[in-house]
Amino acid sequence: MTEAKVTRPALVHRCITAILILGLLAGTTGCSPWQVGAETDVVKNGIRFQSFRELDDGSKLGTLVEDTVIDGWPCEKGFVAFHPDWRLDELQLSRDYERNGVFMPAGTWVFPDARGNPGTCIFPRDMEIQGYLCRGSGTGKKGFMTRFYSTGRLRLFWPREPVQVDGFVCKDSLFTGISLHNNGRLQECILDQPATFSSITYRKGTRLRLDASGKVIDHEP
């Protein structure tokens, strides 16, 4: 007999149905779509899960029974995600931790890169990283992302106020972050103040793109 594949829309439909039924019976539920039909109280790859599910693409989702160290990462009890080969895809730190030169406080949501180093972090509070104040958030995974290169160098951040980078005053924005090259030079930002470069004046609000040597290669408007 061929096992029917479970799609994400089907999982959502099942979860909604479960919520309606359990809500009528118990008045409340902590159901997440992927947890419908998940295995419970199991050990997988040496890790103990309260609930666990492997999706059709091989990726794995689970809730840890307790704080657990996985591949060196101190993972908070609760949700965690893996790639098909069991590399960590998503986790929350149970304690302060430093890796690849990046310090991350407890409560940080981390999305490791292919090498297992910090790729994207969502900090629970504002953090000074490599001389820049990077905006944090108390809203969990829905907060502001701070991204890193595999070298550990800062790649993308959201400032809380205008910040000067390579002589340009970059705007703080809820919609557009500031991008840096791997050598630390400015790659892209929106100007908070007019700026003159190579005899050309760019007005406030212009989006600048620069190469790794610091030369302006594009701008809008």
Instruction: Give yes or no: residues 31 and 63 share one domain.
Output: no
- Strand, helix or coil at 188? strand
Residue 109's Cβ-side half-sphere holds a number of Cα atoms within 13 Å equal to 19
- Spatial separation of the C-alpha atoms in residues 203 and 192, rounded to whole Å: 9
In the chain, % of residues over pLDDT 90: 78
Instruction: Give yes or no: residues 5 and 43 share one domain.
Output: no
Q: Please give the residue range of the domain that contains residue 64.
A: 38-88
Residue 83 forms part of a structural domain: yes
pLDDT at residue 28 tops 60 = no
- Pick the last residue of a domain from 88, 123, 154: 88
Residue 1 forms part of a structural domain: yes
Given pLDDT bands bounded at 50, 70 and 90, which one contains residue 110?
very high
Residue 44 forms part of a structural domain: yes
Averaged over 110-114, what is the pLDDT? Answer: 98
Residues 6+ apart with CB under 8 A from 195: 167, 168, 169, 201, 202, 208
Averaged over 156-183, what is the pLDDT? Answer: 96
Residue 51 forms part of a structural domain: yes
* Summary mean pLDDT of the chain: 89
- Spatial separation of the C-alpha atoms in residues 120 and 206, rounded to whole Å: 27
Alpha carbon dihedral 103, 108, 113, 119, in 10-degree steps, equals -70
Instruction: Give yes or no: residues 45 and 82 share one domain.
Output: yes
Q: Summarize pLDDT for 35-88 with one digit per residue, the tens.
A: 888 999 999 999 999 999 999 999 999 999 999 999 999 999 999 999 999 999
Averaged over 21-48, what is the pLDDT? Answer: 73
Given pLDDT bands bounded at 50, 70 and 90, which one contains residue 140?
confident
- Pick the last residue of a domain from 88, 103, 127: 88
Residue 193 forms part of a structural domain: no
In the block, tokens 């960590």 appear at 88
Tokens of 93: 């730190």
Number of structural domains in the chain: 2
Asked if residues 186 and 159 have their Cβ atoms less than 8 Å apart, the reply is no
pLDDT at residue 93 tops 50 = yes
Instruction: Give yes or no: residues 30 and 56 share one domain.
Output: no
Tokens of 190: 């929106």
pLDDT at 30: 58
Instruction: Give yes or no: residues 45 and 15 share one domain.
Output: no
Asked if residues 94 and 76 have their Cβ atoms less than 8 Å apart, the reply is yes
Cα-based distances in Å from 21 to 18, 34, 146: 5, 17, 40
